[in-house]
């Protein structure tokens, strides 16, 4: 903020305070509500004391907010706050039993916020005084946010893992984890797991039950993640778990068995990773559904081996580039007999995609959060942090990754 260049953003507050003081002096001069006599307080400031002091700046989040009456009692206290976006809200608080003090309900102040305190008190002789003060809290130089999946009000598969990726490294993981809760109805045990200092995932012990309603609450506003880095998010995200669908890809048999709510609904011929490019083993979760996408080998370490601009019915399974997708360029006899891909799982399709093909049929019946498990591949197991691969960890190992153990 530049100094000496104008009245400043608090000029209106200062003028209000000056007018309030002038009004009190005028009332005192007329003998109405004044403080005449040697034993009376000399000003409202003597009767009503506010902490932090009027005009205080850069008050920390753990700074003390209090209103007290000296030689009298408080009749009413009203505190409001205005954040950087201009949103104004009342600050809940409580008067003490003897009405000599007021304290806020929250233990911490909101950062980057202007507080306004309005208090009225009466002294031992029944004479009233009013006081109006303002102060502003510390404005952090750096803020952090978490980008999360799934989205609000979506319906997902039973293998969905709640995942947050932060835009800054998190030094105090316990503080951030405390600021996030994931609950379910019907209730089930849910635990958190950190992958490094930027990613935090939540999952239950086993797959969600169909019909479960899950709520994630982000209470990260003003949470200190690292020196000088504070959170900004305060929101609630809800999603619903749909039917159960688990698809098992057998890389050796070149088939995918689709099981819906415990009943086998289809066995589809597939092609998986060729020798040297085998598909990951293990449980993977559908992260993204794309009606059509471009697949360029140079983006995943395969140089110019392929570049297909119009891959249909693409379902992302890992962040490293594994998809289950439609394949129109391989000969029909490839599916069910030969592994020919660079690590993806291919289903027969036509150029432009069709709902009448195996790929189109499966795509139309798949939700984000559905599980695809690959078995009998010669590749190692997919890493738990490669996509939503956390189901490949044992429950004790998963729980050990929480910062609140």
**Residues with active-site annotation:** 325, 344
Q: How far apart are CA 291 and CA 312, in angstroms?
A: 6
Q: Are 120 and 130 in contact (CB under 8 A)?
A: yes
The length of the chain is 405
DSSP assignment letter at 137: B
DSSP assignment letter at 383: P
Helix (H) or strand (E) holding 16: helix 11-30
DSSP for 210-277? TT-EEEEEEE-TT-EEETTEEE--EEEEEEEE---EEEEEETTTTEEEEEETTEEEEEEEEE-BPTTS
Please report, for residues 171, 195, 196, 203, 235, the alpha-carbon distance to residue 144 in angstroms, rounded to integers and kept in the order given: 12, 17, 16, 23, 14
Please report, for residues 166, 183, 356, 369, the alpha-carbon distance to residue 187 in angstroms, rounded to integers and kept in the order given: 27, 7, 40, 19
Q: Is 253 left (phi over 0), alpha (psi -120 to 50) or beta?
A: alpha
Helix (H) or strand (E) holding 293: strand 288-296
- Residue whose C-alpha is closest to residue 145's, from 173, 172, 164: 164
């Amino acid at each position: 903020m530049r100094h000496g260049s104008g009245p400043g953003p608090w000029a209106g507050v200062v003028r209000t305070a000056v007018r309030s003081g002038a009004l009190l002096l005028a009332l005192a001069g007329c003998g109405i509500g004044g403080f005449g006599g040697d034993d009376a307080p000399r000003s409202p400031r003597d009767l009503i004391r506010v902490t932090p002091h009027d005009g205080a700046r850069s008050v920390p989040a753990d700074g003390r907010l209090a209103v007290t009456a000296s030689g009298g009692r408080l009749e009413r206290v009203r505190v409001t706050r205005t954040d950087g976006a201009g949103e104004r809200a009342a600050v809940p608080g409580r008067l003490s039993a003897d009405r000599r003090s007021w304290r806020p309900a929250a233990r911490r102040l909101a950062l980057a916020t202007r507080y306004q305190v309005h208090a009225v008190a009466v002294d031992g002789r029944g004479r009233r005084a009013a006081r109006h003060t303002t102060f502003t809290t510390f404005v952090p130089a750096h803020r952090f946010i978490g980008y999360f999946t799934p989205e609000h009000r979506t319906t997902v598969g039973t293998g969905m893992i709640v995942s947050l990726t932060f835009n800054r490294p998190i030094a105090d993981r316990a503080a951030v984890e405390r600021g996030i809760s994931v609950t379910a109805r019907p209730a089930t045990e849910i635990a958190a797991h950190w992958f490094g200092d930027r990613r935090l995932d939540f999952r239950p012990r086993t797959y969600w039950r169909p019909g479960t309603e899950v709520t994630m609450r982000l209470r990260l506003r003003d949470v200190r993640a690292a020196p000088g880095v504070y959170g900004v998010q305060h929101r609630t995200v809800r999603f619903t778990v749909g039917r159960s669908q688990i698809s098992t890809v057998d890389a050796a048999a070149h088939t995918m068995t689709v099981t819906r709510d415990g009943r086998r609904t289809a066995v589809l011929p597939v092609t998986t990773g060729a020798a040297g490019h085998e598909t990951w083993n293990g449980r993977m979760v559908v992260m993204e559904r794309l009606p059509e996408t471009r697949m360029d080998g140079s983006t995943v370490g395969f140089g110019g081996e392929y570049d297909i601009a119009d891959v249909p019915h693409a379902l992302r399974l890992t962040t490293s580039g594994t998809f289950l997708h439609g394949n129109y360029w391989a000969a029909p006899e490839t599916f069910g007999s030969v592994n020919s891909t660079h690590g993806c799982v291919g289903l027969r399709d036509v150029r432009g995609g069709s709902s009448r093909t195996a790929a189109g049929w499966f795509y139309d019946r798949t939700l984000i959060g559905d599980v695809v498990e690959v078995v009998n591949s010669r590749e190692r197991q997919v890493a738990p942090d490669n996509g939503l691969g956390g189901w490949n960890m044992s429950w004790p190992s998963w729980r050990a990754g929480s910062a609140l153990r």
